[in-house]
Amino acid sequence: MADTTDSAALPANGLSRLGAFLRATNGRHGADWTDWASYAYLVFGTLLMFVPVAWLALSSLKTPAGLDQMPPTVLPYEPARVAIPGRAGDLPLFRITKGDHVGEVLAEVRRIGLQAQMVEPAAPEKVLRVPVSDREPVMRLHAAWDNYSAVIRRFDFLRYFWNSVFITAIATIITLLFNAMAAFALSKYQFRGRGTVFALILATLMVPPTIILVPNYLIASQLGLVNSLWGVIWPGVATPTGVFLLRQYMLTIPDELLDAARMDNASEWRLFWRIMLPLSAPALAVLAIFSVMWRWNEFLWPLVVLSRSENFTLQLALNSFQGELTTSWNLLLAMTVLTLLPVTVIFLVLQRHITQGIASAGVK
Amino acid sequence: MANLTLRGVHKSFGEVHVIHGVDLDVRDNEFVVFVGPSGCGKSTLLRMICGLESTTSGDIHIDGRRVNDLPAAQRGLAMVFQSYALYPHMTVRQNMAFGLENIRTPRKEIDARIAEAARMLRLDELLSRRPTQLSGGQRQRVAIGRAIVREPKIFLFDEPLSNLDAELRVSMRAELAQLHRRLKATMIYVTHDQVEAMTMANKIVVLQSGRVEQVGPPLELYNAPANRFVAGFIGSPRMNFLPARVVSAAQETTVLQVEAVGPVSAAPRAKLRNGDSVTLGIRPEHLEVIPGGTGATVQAVEQLGGLSYVRLSPHDIVAQIHGQTRLGPDETVSLRLPPDLVHLFDAEGAAVPSNFRVAA
């Protein structure tokens, strides 16, 4: 474990604690080669994970023209425009690189073929002719927030968002409930065939989902669940991973607690609801995270089951916006970022709960 | 009224037979202690009475009613577990209220009972804490409080003091005895510690390997153990067992020869004949050590200030001397065994009662 180089206690201020943490080293005096190696590896890993996401977020703020820029820029730029008195609209600004007016910044009035009619912003009456190749556009930093407002206004974004939220939330709740009940039975009850049932449940983990795709669809259509949100929710609620995870955790809950509760006249349901579930909270939080992340990003099964666009989830909507011939990349990027945000927030919230739960689980 | 009767109770776990035909009567208001070494079946027996284990055969009656098939919660009992089994995610108050809420007791009644139990056990300030924020002794009291609010017919205790340190154990023993007097309730208490049994019980049940060895008040078990096992289990330090042979069995006295020690007189026993081999038992506190004699050699001396323990050879005899002693290792001493305090056990381990002793 790394030691702080100071033997004094960590300072109370948050930022200086961060600084002290970052300066913590393995070596006794100053940095060791292992410290450099650790940091190199960690920085590399962070960049590898973070850069694509950061790129996505920054690109979603670019205009279509900004996205077409070659070479691509990191920050969102767009061509600067200025309003000239006496001319209608905002005129684009260019910097002249060659020829008579080199170094000046001129506004373009009209472009005809390879020649552009340009004016000085200060003296708009005089029209100058500049070849197109002699100039380059002036770029300024501009975040195109209207990408986001367009997405929400023009497409049925809120409906897709609601569909995704509904499916994720309801499916997670049902998953937690059913898996917890199964895990409770498998961990705390003795009955004939218990081992067989458990083995069967685990064995289904070995079956790839694509194999049972068609049979599942046939069953769903027989049950009338096709093209409904419930058709997306129900088929996945009983997960072997969930049952296994919860069972292993519930095994650590002492049987004496259940004995005491039975002596206290608790019915089996009350035992489950008021004793087992609260005590399994850390494991439930883990399963909730798995479920939320899986359900939010689920693509194949909703694609198969949902046929009408008003029932689409966000993932299906994203997919359907990639047209055959044209794609508004800027809108697509904005929608992608909006799709990523909720699950990130939930993960951050639940993650703290998990670590708290594990820490307080050292109960005698 | 809370009487408990066990008749011919057997218990097997599959092929393993753990309880062999236990018969027992517990009367109202008694404090009964089940005592025995680890694995003797005392906890199993308690759980069978409680209803958490089924009975393979035999009957359990509470107040004259057969309860074998009655679920645990409906037998009118309350159990205090060895590890307290407090619900860690609930406050002390919620822990105590849980049982009453399950049977839909009115809120006012619940609060009244909790207040009374909290007062009795000095839990008033702890009611809104969680079990993880309490010390071992406090958790112990909460577990007892949880049992008290249910106002059961019989209280069952499963080694409740075994997780406490020695000093706390002593004070809790006194508290439990006091509680018994206050509540005037029937209590069944399981322990492996014979000191707890001797100090708290009205009646002790000694168990070994699923069988009842002897039942009786503490002093009866001390003064007149029915067999070698009970004699060796009750009393600390353990009774000394010496191999002996009957030399003369007369009307007034029986004389035995103890190997390497010498002749010993005992109260007369009708059943013994010359030449019989028996085991002689004498408690350390009854053995008199006379310095400067012959018969035994001191191996070691342990001085506790108020008492001294002297280890002697042969036979690893332990003698207890009141006060302090000047004896040291390798000194020779002679032993005197008061005839009335000598116990004799036959080849099967059963006690051979003396002619004079009246059953206590």
Domain match, A179 and A125 both: no
State mean pLDDT over A97-108.
81
Which residue ranges form the domains of chain B, and what is each CATH number? Answer: 4-232 (3.40.50.300), 237-285+293-345 (2.40.50)
pLDDT per residue as tens digits for the range A246-298: 999 999 999 999 999 998 889 899 999 999 999 998 889 889 888 988 899 99
Residues A198 and A304 both lie in one domain: yes
Distance CA B357, CA B352 (A): 11
Q: Between chain A and chain B, how many beta carbons pairs sit less than 8 Å apart?
A: 60
- Does residue A186 sit within a domain? yes
CA–CA min distance B53, chain A (Å): 10
Q: Which one of A265, A269, A280, A363 would you mutate to disrupt binding with B, by most B Cβ within 10 Å of its Cβ?
A: A265
B87 contacts B80 by C-beta, under 8 angstroms? no
Helix (H) or strand (E) holding B215: strand B211-216
Res A6: pLDDT? 46
The reported pLDDT for the residue numbered A5 is 46
Q: Does A158 touch chain B (CB under 8 A)?
A: no
Q: With beta carbons under 8 A apart, name residues in chain A contacting B50.
A: 263
Inside any domain, residue A185: yes
Q: Are residues A169 and A297 in the same domain?
A: yes
* Position A2 confidence tier, pLDDT thresholds 50, 70, 90: very low
What's residue A7's pLDDT? 45
Cα–Cα distance between B219 and B109 in angstroms, integer? 42
Q: Which residue do the tokens 């195109």 mark?
A: A144
Task: Assess whether A203 and A337 both reside in one domain.
Answer: yes
Angle, vertex CA B45, rays to CA B44 and CA B48, nearest 5: 85
Q: Which of residues 110-169 of B touch A (CB under 8 A)?
A: 131-132, 146, 150
Closest CB to B79 among A263, A265, A278: A263
Query: CB of B279 within 8 A of CB of B348?
Result: no
Statement to judge: residues A167 and A99 lie in one domain:
no
Task: Inspect the interface and report whether the beta carbons of A260 and B50 lie closer than 8 Å.
Answer: no
Q: Which domain holds residue A240?
A: 148-360
Same domain, A174 and A320: yes
- B-chain CB neighbours of A282 within 8 Å are none
Using the structure block, give the residue that is written with the tokens 């002093």: B219
Are both A290 and A245 inside the same structural domain? yes
The residue whose two tokens read 């005839």 is B339
**How deeply is A362 buried, as exposed, middle or buried, from its count of CB atoms within 10 A (0-12, 13-18, 19+)?**
exposed
- Kindly state whether A19 is in contact with chain B, defined as any CB-CB distance less than 8 angstroms: no
What integer pLDDT is reported at residue B87 of this predicted model?
A: 94
Alpha-carbon torsion, ordered B270, B272, B278, B284, to 10 deg: 30
Contact call for residues B184 and B167 (beta carbons, < 8 A): no
pLDDT classification of B360: cutoffs 50, 70, 90: very low
CA–CA min distance B194, chain A (Å): 25
Q: Confirm whether A173 is domain-assigned.
A: yes
Q: What percent of chain A has pLDDT over 70?
A: 89
The lowest-confidence range among A145-149, A351-355, B10-14 is A351-355
Question: In terms of DSSP bridges, do strands A115-119 and A127-131 run parallel, antiparallel, or are they unpaired?
Answer: antiparallel
CB B192 within 8 A of CB B36: yes
Within 333-362 of A, beta carbons closer than 8 Å to B belong to: 360
Whether residue A183 has pLDDT greater than 90: yes
- Provide the CATH number for the domain around residue A236: 1.10.3720.10
Inter-chain residue contact A266 with B102, CB threshold 8 Å:
yes
Quick one: average pLDDT of A344-353?
80
- Whether A320 and A312 have beta carbons less than 8 Å apart is answered as yes
Measured between CB atoms, does A29 come within 8 Å of chain B? no
Q: What distance, in Å, lies between the first and last C-alpha atoms of chain A?
A: 28
Instruction: State which of A73, A103, A137 marks the end of a domain.
Output: A137
Q: Do B55 and A227 touch, CB atoms closer than 8 A?
A: no
Question: What separation in angstroms does the CA of A41 have from each of A26, A51, B266?
Answer: 15, 15, 87
pLDDT of A225 > 50? The answer is yes
Q: What is the CATH number of the domain that holds A124?
A: 2.30.30
pLDDT in tens, B131-185: 999 998 899 999 999 999 998 989 999 999 888 888 888 888 888 989 999 888 8
- Both A356 and A216 in one domain: the answer is yes
How sure is the predictor about B92, in pLDDT bands with cuts at 50, 70 and 90? very high
SS3 B205: strand
Q: Residue A357 pLDDT > 70, yes or no? A: no
Q: Is the pLDDT of residue B346 over 80?
A: yes
Interface with chain A: mutation pick from B46, B83, B130, B134, highest number of A CBs within 10 Å = B83
Judged against a pLDDT cut of 60, whether residue A1 lies above it is answered with no
B290 touches B335 (CB < 8 A): yes
pLDDT above 80: residue A362: no
Q: Kindly give, in sequence order, each residue whose CB lies less than 8 Å from that of residue A61, ignoring residues fewer than 6 positions away.
A: A76, A143, A144, A145, A147
Predicted confidence at residue A30, as pLDDT, reads: 67
The answer to whether residues A128 and A116 touch, using CB atoms and an 8 Å cutoff, is no
Answer whether residue A340 shows pLDDT above 80: yes
Whether the per-residue pLDDT at B265 is higher than 60: the answer is yes
Does B83 sit within 8 Å of A256, measured CB to CB?
Answer: yes
Question: How many domains does chain A contain in total?
Answer: 2
pLDDT at A185 over 90: yes
pLDDT at A309: 83
User: Which residues in chain B have their CB less than 8 angstroms from residue A192's CB?
Assistant: none
> B316 CA to chain A: closest CA distance, Å?
42
Is pLDDT at A325 greater than 70 in this prediction?
A: no
Secondary structure of A311-343 in HEC code, one letter for each residue: HCCHHHHHHHCCCCCCCCHHHHHHHHHHHHHHH
The answer to whether residue A219 scores a pLDDT higher than 90 is: yes
Tell me, yes or no, whether A340 lies in a domain: yes
Residue A94: beta bridge partners? Answer: A106, A137
**Cβ pair B73:A262 closer than 8 A:** yes
pLDDT level of residue A199 (50, 70, 90 thresholds): very high
Q: In A, residues 110-139, which contact B (CB 8 Å cutoff)?
A: none
> Among the three residues A92, A116, A137, which one is the final residue of a domain in this structure?
A137
